[in-house]
Amino acid sequence: MSKVDLSVQTLLENDDVHLEPVNKRIKVYKLPDWITEEELDELSQTALDNDCDKIIFYVRADQKETSIAEELSFIYEGEIQGFFQGEDALIYARYLNPDRGRAGTGNVIPRLKELNIQEQTGVKHLPEGYDIRWAEEKDAEEMAELYREVFPKYPTPIHDPSYIKQLMREEVYFSLIHDRHQLVSSCSADLFPEFNAAEFTDCATLPSHRGKGLLSCQYPHLEEKMKHLGVQTMFSYTRAASMGMNIVARQQGFTFGGCMIQNSMIGSGLEDMNIWYKAL
């Protein structure tokens, strides 16, 4: 194929290009070597037609050497080492509205560096009365209720039980923690088979059960599953202003890879998201 077909229908059908109206963005997981300024303008117009004002490009390291990203005036946001079957991905953005490219305040990374958080070693056990297991489709209603309580807004329709069931059928693995019979924490590993990578995401814990290290038990549970599946790289996007989630990422051995500006509709609105990655 010598030219990019940028119709909305093609965007929705192409696994490497994600049109995400809730987040007001388009993600391009494979930047073609032959994309032109005219084709990029057409993609930008498609984004604007769908009320999206940010386009994100995952660029292979060898494409960086050809300067294609700089030639097309992309803004560098960060990296996920090992994302493309072990090859590094450099993350660039094109902002179609200048306001979208303005970072918020309160990124916790400078404070995190001052705290000098160390990676946890050894097995972390759940507090007494808690148990951990893999989610099943019958859990979807309870999971949706948890996500509704924790997140008034979210980048995906995670409040919908049918959507959660769909994810389970599409290589997304959910880990659940119950306090006796109540679901109190959930998170997932979203598998990207083509890239041999997985995203640590959808992390939610009820406020009354925070501070007990539940996510620090969830992550190793998911990591072992991904290792069993042969995944090379785990990555995560954490809310830049959330000290707790960024501490968990650091404690679990992730490396900070940069910050994606006004990236995800979560909490009160569009928020900056920190990039973390880890080789398995």
- Please indicate, yes or no, whether residues 85 and 165 belong to a single structural domain of this protein: no
- Please indicate, yes or no, whether residues 144 and 253 belong to a single structural domain of this protein: yes
- Please indicate, yes or no, whether residues 273 and 147 belong to a single structural domain of this protein: yes
- Please indicate, yes or no, whether residues 141 and 264 belong to a single structural domain of this protein: yes
**Is the per-residue pLDDT at 12 higher than 70?**
no
Give all strands (DSSP E) within the chain, no chain letters: 17-20, 25-28, 54-60, 75-84, 87-95, 130-134, 172-179, 182-192, 197-205, 233-239, 255-266, 269-279
What's the pLDDT at 160? Answer: 97
Is residue 190 domain-resident?
Answer: yes
pTM for this one?
A: 0.92
Is residue 108 domain-resident?
Answer: no
Domain boundary among 80, 101, 122: 101
Alpha-carbon torsion, ordered 249, 250, 252, 257, to 10 deg: 70
What's the pLDDT at 199? Answer: 98
Is residue 78 domain-resident?
Answer: yes
Residues 182-222 pLDDT 10s: 999 999 999 999 999 999 999 999 999 999 999 999 999 99
Number of domains present in the structure of the chain: 2
What's the pLDDT at 61? Answer: 82
Is residue 107 domain-resident?
Answer: no
268 phi and psi, to 5 degrees?
A: -95, -10
Which residues lie closer than 8 Å to 224 by C-beta, 6 or more apart?
A: none
Are 241 and 271 in contact, with CB atoms under 8 Å apart? yes
What's the pLDDT at 13? Answer: 57
- Please indicate, yes or no, whether residues 155 and 191 belong to a single structural domain of this protein: yes
- Please indicate, yes or no, whether residues 75 and 179 belong to a single structural domain of this protein: no
Angle at 21 between CA 15 and CA 22, to 5 degrees: 115
Residues 251-267 pLDDT 10s: 999 999 999 999 999 97
> How many residues are listed for the chain in this entry?
280
Residue 208, CB half-sphere, CA atoms under 13 Å: how many? 7
| pLDDT classification of 119: cutoffs 50, 70, 90 | very high
DSSP state of 194: T
- Please indicate, yes or no, whether residues 132 and 232 belong to a single structural domain of this protein: yes
What's the pLDDT at 6? Answer: 46
Is residue 1 domain-resident?
Answer: no
- Please indicate, yes or no, whether residues 85 and 173 belong to a single structural domain of this protein: no
Domain boundary among 101, 133, 167: 101
Residue that wins the pLDDT comparison between 123 and 187: 187
- Please indicate, yes or no, whether residues 168 and 267 belong to a single structural domain of this protein: yes
What's the pLDDT at 28? Answer: 92
Q: Extract the tokens encoding 221.
A: 């549970």
What's the pLDDT at 7? Answer: 47
Average pLDDT over residues 78-98: 95
Average pLDDT over residues 141-148: 98
Question: The tokens 């119709």 sit on which residue?
Answer: 7
Alpha carbon 32 to its chain centroid, in Å, reads 22
Mean residue pLDDT across the chain: 90
Domain boundary among 69, 101, 133: 101
Gap between the Cα atoms of 173 and 142, Å rounded: 16
- Please indicate, yes or no, whether residues 194 and 270 belong to a single structural domain of this protein: yes
Gap between the Cα atoms of 233 and 278, Å rounded: 6
From 66-75, 116-125, 191-200, 240-249, the region with the lowest mean pLDDT: 66-75
Measured CA distances, 28 to 24, 59, 191 (Å): 14, 9, 17
3-state secondary structure 160-174: CHHHHHHHHCCCEEE
| Residue span of the structural domain in which 65 resides | 8-101
Is residue 44 domain-resident?
Answer: yes
Are 41 and 68 in contact, with CB atoms under 8 Å apart? no
CATH number at residue 32: 3.40.630.30
Is residue 253 domain-resident?
Answer: yes
What's the pLDDT at 157? Answer: 94
Residues 35-87 pLDDT 10s: 778 888 888 998 999 999 999 999 988 776 555 666 777 899 999 999 999 99
Is residue 151 domain-resident?
Answer: yes
- Please indicate, yes or no, whether residues 195 and 130 belong to a single structural domain of this protein: yes
Are 204 and 176 in contact, with CB atoms under 8 Å apart? no
- Please indicate, yes or no, whether residues 13 and 142 belong to a single structural domain of this protein: no
